[in-house]
Structure 1
């Protein structure tokens, strides 16, 4: 693939959306490449419909493996429709969450097993990993308080017990250790302009 694939990960409330928006503006000053902003679950029409199904708070009876399979299905459709065509066209893809989210949330948070969820998603993505993943790290309590302040209410995953979110963060930190060449940790408790600057420096090393 000719383009660059960058994903952003973090616990709920890490500030990924804000950081991505700021980075896209900064990238426009240093590259002529088109930047494609996308997200998971979602990013394409079919994948967005799966997103609504997964995150709807009324779906309290959804089996954990059903949830994991739906995420993988959404990811596959998104990859084929959006990510791969953009990379082939020499664009920069900035994706809010990707496969590491499933490993952390379903593998760790839901306790399905990080390796099992990784294997499931290996089938879905067929080896298509980001060249760079920026993991924005915040303590669980800080992140959830940020989400609460937004006043939009919790979706089906955000509304899980504190212990679930603790397991998610612990799983992310394991992924950072296991993938040190791809996943870069950024302390997201810092002022947003500092977080953006640190992320931008890492992206510049990739796309220069």
Structure 2
């Protein structure tokens, strides 16, 4: 299957080819080289000009202390409040950290992250069986001047095994809170998406695969 990065760079070449702004030839150069076959497309790197995170208000929130509430957003480690804003802050920190860890590349883009699911553990699950931090988002590359999409929205599944019971308590004692682990994980996920031809590889069978491994 053609990777997200190969598709993104190919579409970027088409989008930039139609742009008449200053330095067009310079911006086109990486995509043109890739399309000529001189350099594989996945070897290109991005110059991230900005990162924008959106957590739509249409995402449902649950405060029910169940093992698996039916909602798009489940988050308990911050104090009760605007869960959409809290999730947005987590993603913004993670994405910024992940991007800052990359060398400056040759293809200028704006990274548009649209969260579609953020299902961490409830108190009941965290202090008993554990489970999965079930996180999903859309990754979109945009032209830094026009805002035009340079790829189709690319869904990313960023699930992370969540500690439960004694393991959760031990992790907290080490300073490995849910927020710390999730933020570190998301930073690694975005780095992999932007540097690996295969992108981040979600575990087979998704959440069920994680639960079966616990």
TM-score where L is the length of structure 2: 0.25
Instruction: Kindly name which structure, 1 or 2, has the bigger radius of gyration based on alpha carbons.
Output: 2
Report which of the two has the higher share of helix: 1
Name which structure has the greater RCO, CA cutoff 8 Å, separation 6+.
1
